[in-house]
Amino acid sequence: MKNVIIGTAGHVDHGKTKLIAALTGTDTDRLKEEKRRGITIELGFAHLALPDGSLAGIIDVPGHEKFIRHMLAGAGGIDLALLVVAADEGFMPQTREHLDILTLLELRHGIIALTKADLVVEEWMAGVVQEVTSQVAGTFLEQAPILPVSAHTGVGVEKLRQEIFRQLDLVRPKETAKPFRLPIDRVFSIEGFGTVVTGTCIEGTLGLGDSVAIYPAGETARVRGLQVYGQPVSAVQAGQRTAVNLAGIKREEVARGNVLAQPDSMLPSQMLDVRLDILRGCQRSITSGQRLHFHHGAGDTLCKLVLLGTEHLSPGERGFAQLRFAHPVCVKQGDRFVVRFYSPLETVGGGVVLDTNPPKHKAKDPRVVTALSIKEAGTFAQRLRQSILESRHHFWPLEEMLRRASSHGERVEQELEQLLAAGEFILLGGDIPLHRDYLWELGENLARMLSQYHKEHPLQAGMPWGQVRSKLLPGLAPLPGDQVLNLLVEQGIAKKQEHCLALPDFAVVFTPAQRRVADALIAFYREGGFAPPDPAIAARKFGREREYNRVLQALLADGRLVMVEPFLFDGEAYCKARQLLEQVLARQGQVTLGGFRDLLQTSRKYALALLEQFDRQGITQKSGDVRTPGQGR
């Protein structure tokens, strides 16, 4: 059973509402003002019974030019357009604008109904058919059936009904596997029930008791009740006109233009990258900096236009642009939209959303145009590759990256596996895609960083590991950050020395004066062995040397001296102490402080300092009076 939506279009007073009433028995004009003035002001709703027993929703839109924004609010979820032209008046300005809007939204199916057929003679009707055929040439209605009909006499109504059935069979089913999404076109309260919103479910499914979010604010609510075409249901799916009773949200917290969707399935955006098509019938060119009305779903938001790769677009031209908003919008990649001039209010064009979370672009950057060309016309694998490349500085997990790109499903997983197998990407921490090209870029950055560090710290064995990670990969968690650095070491970009990174060919080179101080310090502490002298004594003995502090730090950095609070040990003595400890642990499984002291033939204070250092490193772990092998051994 297919769920579909029919939408009317056409000039004011051409009989759209009466035609819907003739087809369904429902008068979609519900407001007193509509009854009084005899014109449709707000969206109207009805449903049509289909041969298989299901129901098709019908949205009746206003035809007056003052209410074009209301028409746009209802046009987004239409599957089949019913373009209405009064036979006694023919094609009119709003008929053209409505047709332009439906074309920009890329509708594929439609029927043209020539209403008020009872008011004209056959010769006149033939002229109207000829005029309409000329007007719809080059649009999606070029091959559409043109059917004379009279809601007043009933002539042609049944034939129109049967053509609707035939056309609806051609409509592709909606996406039900995607997260639920419903642009809100009405909001009201019912006493005893609370807030109710209505709209056309354009993606996914929704059930009673489900949690939903109201975007762009992101406030959450619970589904208390559901109706489809006035009947209570337990679940709804894409392609149905739906009323949702929300618990936990106030009427004033929701507005037309908001989007009801699955929690965490959308991200508010204040910039969009788009492909923009300018109508051939547009009377002006558009230029960067202009303000436009952006119509998407049921919403209307002001934006600033920034054209990319060109200074202006003329009528009939196509290009890329960035739309910048003062207030956030919620859209997905691939969504269609319409733009209208800020003043005077007239439809200028529309297009498709290519990126919902882009950075701020430079208008003349050719790389931006290349990237958008891939997003518009590239293969699925090319678009996925581009999304990963553009998210490289953020190091988003795959799930977050795909959410921002509005991508999901098994196809994404399959394509990613192929890209991984081809060696184009690696996964950090199991879920963060990293492109090989970006790894190369990071390698260049690391080489420059280490080169500068070596110039500034010539006596340091290298730049501390943690400092490199935080500077090269800001914001990245330690585990994947360490993986990136290890990959760069594997590629020979840098070498790892203890807790430092250095360029592969870097070595500390002392001046003759520094060498004399270094040799004296090493000999001084080496003579002490497992009972080193107090560092204060060394400071008094060598501190007069100008290079003393720099040389001391260099010897500590490369491991020739080791700090074991509060002592300094000769590096070789320290390594020997660890080796002896590990041997006794291997033989006996444990060691006491006294046993370790005797093993080193030193005093208790030195043995204790060393054991506490080994405890901190996980080589040993203390249990009462003994130490056993630690987790880091």
HEC-encoded secondary structure of 116-170: CHHHCCHHHHHHHHHHHHHHCCCCCCCCCCEEECCCCCCCCHHHHHHHHHHHHCC
Residues 41, 161 within the same domain? yes
Of 221, 264, 269, 229, the residue nearest 245 (C-alpha): 221
DSSP string, 493-553: S-EEETTEEE-TT------HHHHHHHHHHHHHHHHHTTSPPPHHHHHHHHTTSTTHHHHHH
Q: Tell me the CA distances in angstroms from 277 to 285, 325, 379, one per residue in order.
A: 12, 19, 21
Q: Is the pLDDT of residue 625 over 90?
A: no
Supply the range of the domain harboring residue 546.
514-629
Per the CB < 8 A criterion, the answer to whether 29 and 18 are in contact is no
Which tokens belong to 504?
Answer: 């592969």
Per the CB < 8 A criterion, the answer to whether 292 and 268 are in contact is no
Domain boundary among 133, 168, 203: 168
Which tokens belong to 509?
Answer: 């080179």
Q: What is the mean pLDDT of residues 546-555?
A: 80
Distance CA 96, CA 322 (A): 27
Taking each helix axis as running N to C, give the angle between helix 465-472 and helix 436-456, from 0 to 180 degrees, rounded to the nearest 10.
130
Residues 186, 331 within the same domain? no
Residues 530, 610 within the same domain? yes
Place of tokens 């330690």: 478
Q: What is the CATH number of the domain that holds 156?
A: 3.40.50.300
Of 224-233, 452-461, 482-491, 563-572, the poorest mean pLDDT is in: 452-461
Q: Where are the beta strands (DSSP E) in 309-457?
A: 312-313, 318-329, 336-341, 347-355, 425-428, 432-435
Q: What does pLDDT average to over the chain?
A: 86
Residues 419, 317 within the same domain? no
Distance CA 186, CA 283 (A): 33
H-helix or E-strand spanning residue 573: helix 571-588
Residues 599, 470 within the same domain? no
Residues 562, 611 within the same domain? yes
Residues 163, 229 within the same domain? no
Residues 351, 418 within the same domain? no
Residues 163, 64 within the same domain? yes
Q: What is the mean pLDDT of residues 369-390?
A: 83
Residues 63, 124 within the same domain? yes
Q: Is the pLDDT of residue 536 over 90?
A: no
ω into residue 344 within 30 of 0, thus cis?
yes
Does residue 173 form part of some domain?
no
* Angle ∠(177,181,185) on CA atoms, nearest 5: 150
How confident is the model at residue 67, as a pLDDT? 47
**How confident is the model over 69-120, as pLDDT tens digits?**
666 666 778 899 999 999 998 888 888 888 988 888 889 999 999 999 999 9
How confident is the model at residue 579, as a pLDDT? 92
Collect all residues with Cβ–Cβ distance below 8 Å to 455 and sequence separation of at least 6: none
Question: Own/partner pairs for 381-384, CB < 8 Å, 24+ apart?
Answer: 381/415, 381/418, 381/419, 384/412, 384/415, 384/416, 384/419
Does residue 507 form part of some domain?
no
How confident is the model at residue 14, as a pLDDT? 81
Structural domains counted in the chain:
6
Q: Is the pLDDT of residue 624 over 60?
A: yes
Of 172-181, 300-309, 422-431, 483-492, the poorest mean pLDDT is in: 422-431
Residues 375, 426 within the same domain? yes
Q: What is the CATH number of the domain that holds 216?
A: 2.40.30.10
Q: What is the mean pLDDT of residues 606-612?
A: 91
Per the CB < 8 A criterion, the answer to whether 213 and 248 are in contact is no
Does residue 452 form part of some domain?
yes
Band (pLDDT 50/70/90 cuts) for residue 397 is confident
Does residue 381 form part of some domain?
yes
Query: pLDDT over 70 for what percent of the chain?
Result: 93
Q: What is the mean pLDDT of residues 349-359?
A: 91
- Given phi > 0 = left and psi -120 to 50 = alpha, else beta, which region is 6? beta
Q: Is the pLDDT of residue 524 over 50?
A: yes
Predicted TM-score (pTM) of this structure: 0.73
Does residue 233 form part of some domain?
yes
Residues 364, 383 within the same domain? no
ω into residue 216 within 30 of 0, thus cis?
yes
Distance CA 321, CA 467 (A): 40
